Amino acid sequence: MKIIMLGAPGAGKGTQAKKIAAKYDIPHISTGDIFRANIKNNTELGQKAKTYMDKGELVPDSLVVDLIMDRFKEADCANGYVLDGFPRTIPQAEALDEALKASGAKVDFAIDVEVPDENIINRMGGRRACVGCGATYHVEFNPPKQADVCDTCGQKLILRDDDKPETVKNRLNVYHEQTQPLIDYYQNAGVLKQVDGTKDMNDVFTDIVDILSK
């Protein structure tokens, strides 16, 4: 079962991807994790990616696909995977499809977690991150035991710059311009499934499981 998660930043697709991975015993693969692992292990692909990242440039689509396809070869991907954070654009989706086709595979489901922009701005504005261990909380949905203090390490909790309303609006604009066209792309491919991301997190997951079980 090869699954791609779609949705705006803050829609909760990462959370759902982890839950899917745990239930079906398949890996949750994020491009950020792949980059970090390859750079840490000093692989040839990692070295190539690092040359772009060190200059503050985007890693070319062809190299990202190479990194992802290399990850798919690992034993834990034998029964599938959940891909989170890639593809982000139509050219990336096309490159991924071509690479999968060459190995006799294809995307089975593209799950779009739908949440209106105003919900996302409110949701992300309530997030708090620990300056010490990086744990995340939400003032409404997952508050710490003591306000602005991490339950785990006792360090201060902050509102990160990328969760501030003006930053979130910019990120949403980029999403609508670059990533939202993927919804039409996967709709045309016949693999798109949409869920209401404004529901309770567990209800969203129940809806996803219903889709994957059909």
Answer yes or no: 36 catalytic: no
DSSP class per residue in 37-101:
HHHHTT-HHHHHHHHHHHTTPPPPHHHHHHHHHHHHTSGGGTT-EEEES---SHHHHHHHHHHHH
Answer yes or no: 171 catalytic: yes
Tell me which of 23, 101, 156, 160 is the catalytic residue: 160
Tell me which of 2, 19, 88, 193 is the catalytic residue: 88
Report the sign of the C-alpha dihedral through residues 162, 166, 169, 174, in that order: negative
Answer yes or no: 127 catalytic: yes
Answer yes or no: 71 catalytic: no
Q: In sequence order, what are the beta bridge partners of 4?
A: 83, 110
Question: Torsion angle of alpha carbons 72, 78, 83, 89, nearest 10°?
Answer: 50
> Contact at 8 Å (CB) between 113 and 16?
yes
Tell me which of 2, 13, 19, 128 is the catalytic residue: 13
Tell me which of 18, 48, 171, 199 is the catalytic residue: 171
Answer yes or no: 128 catalytic: no
Tell me which of 2, 127, 128, 193 is the catalytic residue: 127
Which residues are designated catalytic?
Answer: 13, 88, 127, 160, 171
